[in-house]
Amino acid sequence: MFQEKEAQSDQEPEIERVAVKIKALMLGLDQAGKTTILYRMKLGEVISAIATNGFNYEEIKYKNYDFEIWDVGGKEDIRPLWQNYYKDNPKAIIFVVDAHETDPQRIQEAADELQKLMNLPQLKEAPFLIYANKHDLPKAMDSSEIAEKFNLEGFKDQKWFIQACCAKTGEGLYQGLDYLMNHFDNDQAE
């Protein structure tokens, strides 16, 4: 989308890009790194985060996009409240997985929560960006291992992408946003 500014005298008109707004929900189990990711992208630094009991909201301006990100707490007793956030039809879901998780029950719990979201009719059109956070730690699961353990191959009609990342260094975070931008750029072109 382009908007032309009014030309002054005999100068060439300037072209101004209008930002595309994307509402995204950031979900995942507690301690996966959602809040650290959000503020790493917003502030460019790591903040001391405590468990989110409600939500955090920030706008992340990146290239020609304005990502309105709602980071919603992931504790078990808060997860039923997720439905209050996705009923407003978010354009994208960012699901954060602790790629360094070693507890099989927690891995299955994260897989179950992601599958529930991917099966919701109101989220069928939303692309899922899955951040595999803490991938820099020893023995972290890689993308193919996460796809297998989370049974993502079974979601052939759902658009999803796994991006390895490290919230503390910022590695991989913007590549994830690039995936979402490419998705929306391709949608607009169709």
Rg (CA), the chain: 18
> Is 102 labelled as part of a ligand binding site?
no
Taking the C-alpha atoms of residue 41 and residue 44, their distance in angstroms, rounded to an integer, is 5
> Is 28 labelled as part of a ligand binding site?
yes
> Is 169 labelled as part of a ligand binding site?
no
> Is 119 labelled as part of a ligand binding site?
no
> Is 73 labelled as part of a ligand binding site?
no
> Is 33 labelled as part of a ligand binding site?
yes
> Which residues face 21 on adjacent strands?
66
> Is 74 labelled as part of a ligand binding site?
yes
CA-CA-CA-CA torsion for 128, 174, 136, 141, nearest 10 degrees? 20
> Is 137 labelled as part of a ligand binding site?
no
> Is 183 labelled as part of a ligand binding site?
no
* Displacement of CA 139 from its chain's centroid (Å): 23
Burial of residue 30 (number of CB atoms within 10 Å: 0-12, 13-18, 19+): middle
> Is 88 labelled as part of a ligand binding site?
no
Residue ranges of the binding site for GTP: 28-35, 74, 133-136
Annotated binding site: 28-35, 52, 74, 133-136
Q: Which residues are annotated as a binding site for Mg(2+)?
A: 35, 52
